[in-house]
Structure 1
Amino acid sequence: MLNRVNKTLTSTAAAAAVTVLLTSGCATAIIGGAASTVMVANDPRTTGTVIEDQAIELKAATALGEEPSLKDQTHVNVTSYNQIVLLTGEAPTEDVRQQVVERVRNVTKVRHVHDEMRIAAPSSLTARSSDTLITAKVKTKLFSVKNFDATRVKVVTEAGTVFLMGLLTREEADRAAEAVQEVGGVQRVVKLFEYQPAAG
């Protein structure tokens, strides 16, 4: 069973679990129930935008799976937040990477694409498991930050690099990044936040 194109969000108790696995060209979504309700309640995005982000991830996975050469050669993680897409993973050549970016860019409602894919062979299951563990540790760390709503931050880890997405003030974003840098195994932190004005 092919599992080259995938999107996996590893959740803590207060975050929704969303897994998109592209298997033989078919996309399947598994969305947590009660945890998802908690996350949406605290999410600064509208409910419609949250649903649209999930749809973008599914459509992107399907679009990539429709092209056998992309499905067979790449490992691509598609993460959408507020209709801005982050691409992580590996592609064998720059040409293939650009094909991935263009297919995702053409998905309906995508506002912008952050291309953070590496030119490399698909990562091993061991490496992906390590990234999953780092993501869990990062989320736990964010929940320990005082006066900070960790459910407003989406965390993606690839090859030890942690990408942070969300709608935060600059002060909140800086606090989040500083906390994440303290987590073991994190090699680099990349802030991809959309900044909101501070209250008051």
Structure 2
Amino acid sequence: MTRRFSPLPRSLRSPAVLAALVGALLAGGCAAPLVVGGAMVGTALSVTDRRTTGAQLEDQAIELKTISRVREAVADRGHVNTTSYNRSVLITGEVPSEADRQAVEQAIARIENVRSTVNELALAGNSSLGSRTNDGVLTSKVKATFIDAKDLQSNAIKVTTERGTAYLMGIVTEREAARATELARSVGGVTKVVRVFEVISEAELAQLQPPAKK
């Protein structure tokens, strides 16, 4: 499988979407310029990311669009988080009914460029501020564990934590998936690990790696 950098998709060329993307990058502390259409896209879109440049931008646009779609589906009846990776959207949080759970998933699935959805919404009351703060701490701890590991490319894996469950997303090999799961499970406070990986072969991984400097 060969992955190439792709030009900015037509769906992302509207001024509103581009402005939102620039705002998101600047809010994240990105000082580098965003040049659309084939040049630099800022440090927030790392050159070591295993997604194509187009997929990275699509994921940011998808996450921005989910905000209004979720609001339309359930208003303030639930607490919903979405994470898009390579156009696959992980849906986490809490809603009061199965009807709301399905409504959220269907609304997100209709967003342009969404390839698939993983619905992990719980039928429960909204989590507390303390619970969400703890989830943020656990996410940081899992990421730190990945960074400390010498046998794992930490920035290839996206971590989201909800009610103590760590969700792992990324384009990884079976070896990397197993290692990341092992490390995440070792973090105190993590009660469960859910793998939402796109698994590739070692040969495919070698094609994604930047060429070695001579």
- Pairwise TM-score range, normalised by the shorter structure: 0.7 to 0.9
Q: In structure 1, what is the equivalent of residue 51 of structure 2?
A: 45
Q: In structure 1, what is the equivalent of residue 62 of structure 2?
A: 56
Q: In structure 2, what is the equivalent of residue 98 of structure 1?
A: 102
Task: Read off the aligned partner of 1:118 and give its amino acid letter.
Answer: A
Task: Read off the aligned partner of 2:133 and give its amino acid letter.
Answer: S
Measured in 2, the distance between the counterparts of 1:51 and 1:38 equals 10
User: After superposition, where does 1:114-153 map in structure 2 within 5 Å?
Assistant: 114-153=118-157
Q: In structure 2, what is the equivalent of residue 33 of structure 1?
A: 30
Q: In structure 2, what is the equivalent of residue 83 of structure 1?
A: 87
For structure 1, which segment, 123-132 or 32-41, has the greater mean C-alpha deviation from structure 2 after superposition?
Answer: 32-41
User: After superposition, where does 1:13-28 map in structure 2 within 5 Å?
Assistant: none
Count of aligned pairs between the two proteins = 171
CA contact (8 A) 2:45 2:56 kept: no
Deviation track 1:147-197 (CA, whole Å, cap 9, x = no partner) reads 321011000000000000000000011011101111010000111100111
Q: Secondary structure at the match of 2:91?
A: strand
Measured in 2, the distance between the counterparts of 1:155 and 1:77 equals 13
User: After superposition, where does 1:149-164 map in structure 2 within 5 Å?
Assistant: 149-164=153-168
Give the alignment's TM-score, normalised by structure 2.
0.76
Task: Read off the aligned partner of 2:47 and give its amino acid letter.
Answer: A
Task: Read off the aligned partner of 2:180 and give its amino acid letter.
Answer: A
Measured in 1, the distance between the counterparts of 2:44 and 2:56 equals 13
Measured in 2, the distance between the counterparts of 1:40 and 1:46 equals 10
CA contact (8 A) 1:74 1:92 kept: yes
In structure 1, runs of 5+ residues without a counterpart are: 1-27
Q: In structure 1, what is the equivalent of residue 171 of structure 2?
A: 167
Measured in 1, the distance between the counterparts of 2:177 and 2:44 equals 21
- Shift in Å, 1:34: 5.3
Task: Read off the aligned partner of 2:43 and give its amino acid letter.
Answer: T
Task: Read off the aligned partner of 1:33 and give its amino acid letter.
Answer: C
Q: Secondary structure at the match of 2:166?
A: strand
- Shift in Å, 1:38: 6.3
Task: Read off the aligned partner of 2:190 and give its amino acid letter.
Answer: V
CA contact (8 A) 1:134 1:186 kept: yes
Task: Read off the aligned partner of 2:198 and give its amino acid letter.
Answer: E
User: After superposition, where does 1:103-114 map in structure 2 within 5 Å?
Assistant: 103-114=107-118
CA contact (8 A) 1:40 1:50 kept: no
Task: Read off the aligned partner of 2:108 and give its amino acid letter.
Answer: V
Overall identity of the aligned pairs, in %: 44
Task: Read off the aligned partner of 1:32 and give its amino acid letter.
Answer: G
Task: Read off the aligned partner of 1:89 and give its amino acid letter.
Answer: G
Q: Secondary structure at the match of 2:126?
A: coil
Measured in 2, the distance between the counterparts of 1:85 and 1:55 equals 12
